[in-house]
Amino acid sequence: MKTLVIVDVNPIDKTVITEYSQLAAKTLEAYGGQFIAKGPIESLHGDAPYAMKAVIEFPDKQSARDWYSSDAYQAIIPLRNTGMDSQFHLV
């Protein structure tokens, strides 16, 4: 079953986010992942504590977990944490 990783984002440094996003996209390929949406959100109901979201689709949950724990992705987490405050959710 297809699985989504939903990323909530509050930008800290947009230049760093751009660099991180380019690197992150490359780490997805080996796990069949792809961005299907990303950008500012529009809240239709309720509070929106994060300004942006990214939605990444994977073929299954194991592929998503393997991507997140991969050496390639783990290596760019310090860059991510410099550029944004974020939460990652597996659905």
Q: What is the pLDDT of residues 21-48, one digit of tens each?
A: 999 999 999 999 999 999 999 999 999 9
Q: The pTM is what?
A: 0.92
pLDDT confidence of residue 55:
98
Residue range 3-42+50-90 in CATH 3.30.70.100? yes
Sketch the domain layout of the chain as residue ranges. Answer: 3-42+50-90
Among residues 17, 3, 19, the alpha carbon closest in space to that of 68 is found at: 3
